[in-house]
Amino acid sequence: MLYKTYYNSPVGKLLLVSKDNQLIGLWLENQKYYLANIKEKLTLKDNIPIFIQTKKWLNDYFNGQKKDIKELQLNPQGTPFSKLVWHYLTLIPYGTTTTYKEIANQVKKKLQKENMSSQAIGNAISHNPISIIIPCHRVIGTNNNLTGYAGGIANKIELLKIEGIDTTKLHYKGD
């Protein structure tokens, strides 16, 4: 059975989804790919342990505390390739950014491939089902370009600011 709860954050209302006391989803309301891959009915239940832990984690995070992703039981649903990309997202330190190209290089090395498309990486990142906690907002384009964020560029900028990142050096050209 899948359970859901809601969390009101500084970047908007979040939907949290769990299965077997593991967090399988966290989406900003109205974000791209909202509830992607979730086909089962969701039952509202606020007081299960993973939701209590996740809400505390989010409270601390939004209050500027550096949080460890390992504090939570996460089980994002996706392809093996997507899960590999999301794993590399979890390795980006709090308060820092990396590029799609750097993630592509890490995945390329892990998979022992000659090439790895930054677009393939971007597609996997955009389908990250556990926003904020799996920090896809820390990935930017080359030359400090802010590129797409399923939760919206304004929210991406706000999350980076929460982590103390100077966003004045980042550029956005629009879609």
Catalytic machinery residues: 136
In the block, residue with structure tokens 């590129």: 147
Amino acid at 58: L
Strand bridging mode 98-99 / 139-140: parallel
Residue 171, CA atoms < 13 Å, CB-side half-sphere = 6
Residues with Cβ within 8 Å of residue 18, at least 6 apart in sequence = 2, 3, 4, 24, 48, 50, 51
Say if CB 171 and CB 146 are below 8 A apart.
yes
- 47 contact partners, CB below 8 Å, separation of at least 6: none
